[in-house]
Amino acid sequence: MSSGEILNNIRRLRFNNGEMTQEQLAGKCSVTRQTIIAIEKGNYSPSLTLAFKIAKAFGVGVEDVFEFMD
């Protein structure tokens, strides 16, 4: 999980999905591996479209991937 307003569970979800690599996830979402790394570290907040693509890649809802902290 990353610090900041938007937390994500990408690392855990990748692990639960047969140790999916960042490269594989990037391929499924049509982005670069660097973008997945940036999102995973919390350095970049993805657009809604990309957030839905990531959730779809894991077969879960967006709220299972991202959490908004007040």
Partner 1 sequence: MSKLERNSCIELASVTISVPIFTLMMHYIARENAKGLVFILITVVIVGITLFACTLAEKKVIERYDEREKKIKFKTFRWSAYVFVGYVMLMSFGAFFTVGGAGTIEVVHLPIFFVVGCFIAQLAQTAMTIILCNTGADDE
The structure tokens 């570290």 sit at 41
| 44 interacts with partner 1 by CB under 8 A | yes
| 1 interacts with partner 1 by CB under 8 A | no
Name which position in 32, 61, 63, 64 contacts partner 1 (CB under 8 A): 32
Q: What is the torsion angle, in degrees rounded to the nearest 10, for the CA atoms of residue 20, residue 36, residue 46 and residue 14?
A: 20
| 21 interacts with partner 1 by CB under 8 A | no
CA gap 66, 42 in Å, rounded: 11
Binding site for partner 1 (CB under 8 A): 30-32, 34-35, 37-38, 41, 43-47, 49-50
